[in-house]
Amino acid sequence: MILASLDGGFVGDCISIFEHMKDHCAPNVGTINAMLKVYTCADMFAKAKELFEATKATHGGLESSGDYSSLQLDSYSYKSMLEASASSQQWEYFEYVYKEMILSGFQLDHRKYSWLLVKASRAGKWHLLEHAFDTILEAEEIPHTSLFTEMICQTITQGDFGRTVSLLNSMAHASLSVSESQWTSLLEREIATLGMGKLQDLLNHLQSCSLVMEDPVPNILKSLDFISGRRLLEGTGSCTRTESVAGSIGNLESDGKNQDYQHVDVPGRVDGRLPSLSLTSNSCNLFEMLDAESSANASLQEEIDNLGSQHSCFEPNEESYFTDSTLDLLTSGIRIPFSELPPASEILERWRTKQED
């Protein structure tokens, strides 16, 4: 009845049935386990802990009578309490229950509940994962894949690359498969805490040692290469982007929308083509102010903003090619004629005020 009420979502009825039952018969371990499940699902950690401790105390001889006399917790009881502790982030009590479970002769089924150990490891209880991992190996079983990957992540964190290699080779011998995308997801988490340097050191180490080139080893190497390459591109992408923007602006007159400007008399024009633009620091600041003054044509605003913020990619010249006509051409996309823009002195004053703020 308790479990049926839980399936229907009637947590209050579960508790009422349990309390009413105690007036007519003594609860057994099945009833205790059912209520531990109820309290876990209802996020009632305090109630689960109280019931768990009361039941455990009777078996220890601390209570000789009462509703919980002659009860003995089983593996399901400990598993339920571990789940309740994990869901409530009670990691100290989680460790206490895990140790009590081991001392009572029970083992956590790693094929079903490996996620509990992984979650505990990420919460700072890595030694519990390591104990479970060694216990599984001593029983001549193959640990769950998630335990292997979490162990590898932890050895990377500690800089113990020798053990990382040993774990990877063990996974290859056990034919455990982890895809490149799965490795990438796991390793990205390490970047958040360690930075790219640690993963680069790992890649260098893996490339210089003996590896079993079977799944999942090739996939982690591909993942490390991918992450390293992407981070490198992210580091240089802004400059490349600026050069692309400059090239686009330099060829605006070839766009059909701007054909009216093809015969504008611009100093330095050669055979009807504009010369390469050379941006000075003041020019870049001017474009940043133009971007702030106009809300039209958002995509061109973004291009101009990127160009201004990355002006160090270009060689500044003391002599500027920007005449009124050229600036009208470049600002045509945001539909503000250059003649209507505030004077440069006013723009620069606004910029200095922003910098001081």
Query: Where do the structural domains in the chain lie, given as residue ranges?
Result: 1-106, 132-236, 251-356
Buried b (16+ CB within 10 A) or exposed e, 156-176: beeeebeebbebbbbbbeeeb
Select the more confidently predicted residue: 201 or 292. 201
* Residue appearing with tokens 């490390």: 224
What does DSSP assign to residue 269? -
pLDDT, tens digit, 9 for 90 and up, residues 292-314: 444 444 454 454 455 444 443 43
What is residue 273's three-state secondary structure?
Answer: strand
Residue 108 reports pLDDT greater than 70:
yes
Provide the pLDDT for residue 236.
46
Select the more confidently predicted residue: 356 or 11. 11
Buried b (16+ CB within 10 A) or exposed e, 124-141: ebbebbeebbeebeeeee
Q: Would you state the structure tokens that stand for residue 49, as one six-digit string?
A: 């802990």
What is residue 63's three-state secondary structure?
Answer: coil
Q: pLDDT-based confidence at 354, cuts 50/70/90? A: low
Q: Within 10 A of 179 (CB to CB), how many other CB atoms are there?
A: 13
Residue 92 reports pLDDT greater than 80:
yes
Residue 41 reports pLDDT greater than 50:
yes
Can you tell me the mean pLDDT for 84-109? 95
Residue 321 reports pLDDT greater than 80:
no
> Among residues of the chain, what percentage have pLDDT more than 90?
46
Alpha carbons 236 and 190: distance in angstroms, whole number? 22
Provide the pLDDT for residue 27.
82
Alpha carbons 215 and 175: distance in angstroms, whole number? 7
118 Cβ contact partners less than 8 Å away, ≥ 6 residues apart: 129, 146, 147, 150
Q: Would you state the structure tokens that stand for residue 207, as one six-digit string?
A: 């490339």
Provide the pLDDT for residue 353.
73
Q: Cβ distance 187 to 144 under 8 Å?
A: no
pLDDT, tens digit, 9 for 90 and up, residues 150-174: 999 999 989 999 999 999 999 999 9
Can you tell me the mean pLDDT for 29-47? 94
Q: Would you state the structure tokens that stand for residue 310, as one six-digit string?
A: 């990355």
Give me the torsion for CA of 95, 100, 103, 106, rounded to 10°. -90
What is residue 277's three-state secondary structure?
Answer: coil
